[in-house]
Structure 1
Amino acid sequence: MPSGYALVVRFTLRDTTAAQQFDELVAQTAVGIRTEPGTLVYAVHEPVDEPLVRVFYELYADRDAFQAHEDQPHTKRFLAARSQFLAGTEVTFLNEVAGLSKRPGSEG
């Protein structure tokens, strides 16, 4: 069974105004991402004590699902608009070594 296709993206934003505008862009983009069947997890975090950083964790069913995500109009809009808010970007593609998937409310 394939373990999925995952990546982590760390965006460093220019300033607090750019961070607010970036967060608005992310919120708009998330509406479309929710309808993507192959996108299993698309989580955005702000690290503690780093208000100008956003960390995305993305998990797709497989490489094709990732490519389908990249081809969506909402994703293309995000990719085209994001650079105006950024001071830097780091992308890390991940290979699963071990995993645990639990449903909310399950024990163990």
Structure 2
Amino acid sequence: MGYGLVVRFIATDEVAALAFDELAATALEGIRAHEPGTLVYVNHRVPDEPRVRVFYELYADRAAFDAHEAQPHVQHFLAERGQYLESFDVTFLDKVAGKLSAGSVSE
């Protein structure tokens, strides 16, 4: 059915937010190359809040999320992100209903 989460990050300042984006982009390279169970992994900017980033992540299932968390590129991201952040908040999601693209998680 899928396993998702939303993470809201607040960077210490705008320069840190840009450095955070670079760190996330490096992790994304590994995610694209090595994580077939990661269906969606997107870093969003928030209009009029230059220090805020919101990640939306969707995994095939909980096992895919656990595999994602164990990857070296993700471990690096998790270890380094704190230097750029004032705070972050994670919200885990259970799917109720929705539209998914063909070939992704079963609806």
TM-score (norm: length of structure 1):
0.90
The alignment status of 1:9 with 2:7, answered yes or no, reads yes
Q: Encode CA deviations 1:1-26: one digit per residue, 9 max, x unaligned.
A: xx200000000000011111101101
Q: What SS does structure 2 have at the residue aligned with 1:19? A: helix
| Larger Rg belongs to | 1
Counterparts of 1:5 and 1:101, CA distance in 2 = 13
Counterparts of 1:78 and 1:29, CA distance in 2 = 6
1:102 CA displacement: 3.9
Counterparts of 1:46 and 1:17, CA distance in 2 = 14
Q: What SS does structure 2 have at the residue aligned with 1:46? A: strand
Spell out the pairing of 1:10-25 with structure 2 (5 A cutoff). Answer: 10-25=8-23
Corresponding position of 2:50:
51
Q: For 1:53, give the aligned amino acid.
A: V
Corresponding position of 2:91:
92
TM-score (norm: length of structure 2):
0.91
Corresponding position of 1:30:
28
The alignment status of 1:69 with 2:72, answered yes or no, reads no
Specify every segment of 5 or more residues in structure 1 that has no aligned partner in the other structure, as ranges.
104-108
Moved over 4 A (4+): none
Query: C-alpha root-mean-square deviation of aligned residues, in Å?
Result: 0.9
Provide the identity percentage.
60
Counterparts of 1:4 and 1:101, CA distance in 2 = 10
Counterparts of 1:39 and 1:65, CA distance in 2 = 7
Corresponding position of 2:105:
none
Specify every segment of 5 or more residues in structure 2 that has no aligned partner in the other structure, as ranges.
103-107
Aligned positions, number: 101
Q: Which has the higher helix share?
A: 2
Q: Which has the higher strand share?
A: 2
Q: Encode CA deviations 1:57-99: one digit per residue, 9 max, x unaligned.
A: 0000000000000000000000000000000100000011111
Counterparts of 1:20 and 1:64, CA distance in 2 = 31
